[in-house]
Amino acid sequence: MGQRVITVAQQKGGAGKTTVAAHLAVALSQRGFRVGVIDVDPQGSLSHWHRIREERFGEDYTGLQFASVSGWRVGSEVSRMKRTCDFIIIDSPPHVETEARTAIRQGNLLLVPVQPSPTDLWATQATLQLAKSEGIPARIILNRVNNKSRIVEMIEKELTGALTKTRLANRVIYAAALMEGRGVTEVEPTSPAAIEIKSLVKEVIQFFPKEEVEEDEDALEMA
C-alpha cells in the first residue's frame, strides 16, 4: 500500500479546510478507496460533521475511518490507519504552531484552501514556507470563488505554478451538505459542486504514482 496522507492546512481560519477535507473524503470513499479522516483542529468542526454522519447512516456505516486526536498523537494515529486505509486526510489546526506543524509533517501532500482575498493570500505564505522546509509538496485550492471577480485573476497570477486546476466556487450546497453529515457528491451527484469535487479527486489521485493507485483499485474490486 502506498503512502497517501493528505494534510489540509491553512494558517488563516475560515478558509475552508474542513469543507475541503470532508467533501474530498466522501468522494474518495465513493470511488471505492478506504479512507481515514483525522481531525486535529481543536475547533472540532470535522468531528461534529462526522457525528451527524453517524446519526444519519449509523455508527461504522459512514464509509470512513474517523479519529479526533490532539497534535502530539497524530503520528501514531496515522501509523495505525496506514494499515487499513488507502488515503488518509488530516484536517489541521489554523496557525502554524506545534500541532499544525506536526500534522503537516505527516503528509505526503499538502492542500491549502485559499479564498481569493489579499489577507488569505498573505496568510498562506507561512504555510507554504513550512511545507517547503519539510520537503512536502503543496497545492493551493482557490475556494469560494466568484468567477466574475477581478481579484481572482490577480490571486491566480500571484500563485502560478502552485494552484490546482480545480477551483471551488462560492456555493451554498457545500455548507448545506455538511449540515446533513454528507458530501455534495452524495447530496447532488451531478451538481456543479459535485463536479468540482470529483475534479479535485482526480487531481489528488493523479498526484500519486499511478501503479500504486491502480493496485489498490484492483484489490478492492477483487475483495
Which range among 55-59, 78-82, 103-107 shows the weakest confidence by mean pLDDT?
103-107
Mean pLDDT of 105-124: 89
User: What pLDDT does residue 112 have?
Assistant: 94
Burial tier of 58 (Cβ tally within 10 Å: 0-12, 13-18, 19+): exposed
Burial class, 32, CB count within 10 angstroms (exposed 0-12 / middle 13-18 / buried 19+) = middle
- Residue the block writes with cell 483499485: 217
Please determine, for residue 212, whether its predicted confidence score (pLDDT) is greater than 70: no
The confidence score (pLDDT) of residue 33 equals 96
pLDDT-based confidence at residue 15 (cuts at 50, 70, 90)? confident
Tell which wins on pLDDT, 211 or 73.
Answer: 73
| pTM (2 d.p.) | 0.89
23 has a pLDDT exceeding 90: yes
Residue 89: is its pLDDT beyond 90? yes
Cβ 37 vs Cβ 50: under 8 Å: yes
Instruction: State how far the Cα of 92 lies from the Cα of 7, in Å rounded to an integer.
Output: 7
**Whether residue 81 has pLDDT greater than 90:** yes
Which of 8, 58, 26 has its CA nearest to residue 187? Answer: 26
Range with the poorest average pLDDT among 20-29, 125-134, 151-160, 197-206: 151-160
Domain ranges of the chain: 5-211
What value does the mean pLDDT of the chain take? 89
**How do residues 55-65 score in pLDDT, each as one tens digit?**
999 999 999 99
The stretch 179-183 carries a mean pLDDT of: 97
pLDDT value for 161: 76
Question: Pseudo-torsion of CA 88, 94, 95, 97, nearest 10°?
Answer: -50
Please give the grid coordinates belonging to residue 201.
479527486
pLDDT at 97 over 90: no
The predicted structure's pLDDT at residue 136: 92
Q: Are 36 and 85 in contact (CB under 8 A)?
A: yes
Contact 8, 39 (CB under 8 A): no
Mind listing the pLDDT tens digit for each residue in 163-175?
999 999 999 999 9
Query: How many other C-beta atoms are found inside a 10 Å radius of the C-beta of residue 187?
Result: 17
Give residue-wise pLDDT tens across range 122-157. Answer: 888 888 888 888 899 999 999 999 877 788 888 888
Lowest mean pLDDT among 7-16, 56-65, 95-104, 137-146: 95-104
Assign domain 5-211 to its CATH architecture. 3-Layer(aba) Sandwich (3.40)
All cell numbers assigned to 56: 444519519
Query: What's the rounded Cα separation, in Å, for the pair 211 and 223?
Result: 18
Q: What is the pLDDT of residue 88?
A: 97
- Matching residue, cell 471551488: 168
Q: Which three cell numbers stand for residue 205?
A: 489521485
Around 168, how many Cα atoms within 13 Å sit in the side-chain half-sphere?
A: 28
Closest CA to 91 of 120, 66, 63: 66
Q: What is the pLDDT of residue 214?
A: 57
Given a contact cutoff of 8 angstroms between Cβ atoms, the answer to whether 120 and 12 are in contact is yes
- Residue matched to cell numbers 484492483: 218
